[in-house]
Amino acid sequence: MSDLSKTWKIIIMAISAPPLLLMIIAVILGDDITSQAFKRFGNALITGYTFSAGLLFINMFFYADSRHRPLAPLFGMLLATIFGSMITLWLLSQGDLLLEENGSVRAQALSNIVRILVSLVALIMAVAVAIGGTFVAITSRPKRKLFEEE
């Protein structure tokens, strides 16, 4: 195994270790919310798919621009997005399968969209803290000499 791939493995482990430890603590403290967690996972998966397929469909216009504007990939991605939306609505209308504390399919779909936006805000803030903190740490140190001649 090359040194670089070993380094990346260590970094990926470093990213996942604290959340995994927190999950172990939560398991030890013991609450059973499997059903709610499954519903949330399902809702996040279908909403995440549809949301990001929609964004990638828009991105497909840029790809089409670099390829003499073919219609086939645009149509393909549009179909994938519509498929995601249809599956979302169908799964939400299957009674108690994915409905959380919302009375209707429309309310659940809206709640999913709002939640994905709130999660994105949380992600942006976490990235700002991690990357911003790294910059603060780097720039707070006295300037280093790269060469003795400096």
Partner 1 sequence: MVLFSPATVPESPSSAAGHLLGSIIGPCALLITGIYLLAFSGNVEVGKLSSTDRKVGSACTFLGLVWLEGMHWWTWTPMLNGEINPYWLVFWPTFLLLATGLSSGAAFSLRYLGDSREQESNFMLVISSLTFTLTALGMIIDGPNISAETFRDSFWLAVSDIFGLGLGVGLSILVFAFVIWIYESSLPPTKSLDAPSQQELVQASSIVAKHIGGEQE
The answer to whether 139 contacts partner 1 (rule: CB under 8 A) is yes
The answer to whether 137 contacts partner 1 (rule: CB under 8 A) is yes
The answer to whether 94 contacts partner 1 (rule: CB under 8 A) is no
Rounded Cα–Cα distance for residues 150 and 135 (Å): 24
Residue choice 1, 2, 5, 18 for contact with partner 1 (CB under 8 A):
18
DSSP characters for 50-93?
A: HHHHHHHHHHHHHHHHTTT--SHHHHHHHHHHHHHHHHHHHHHT
The answer to whether 107 contacts partner 1 (rule: CB under 8 A) is yes
Rounded Cα–Cα distance for residues 14 and 8 (Å): 10
The answer to whether 84 contacts partner 1 (rule: CB under 8 A) is yes
Q: Which helix (H) or strand (E) holds 30?
A: none
User: Which residue lies nearer to partner 1 by CB, 1 or 138?
Assistant: 138
The answer to whether 108 contacts partner 1 (rule: CB under 8 A) is no
Task: State the minimum distance, in angstroms, from the CB of residue 2 to partner 1.
Answer: 13
The answer to whether 87 contacts partner 1 (rule: CB under 8 A) is no
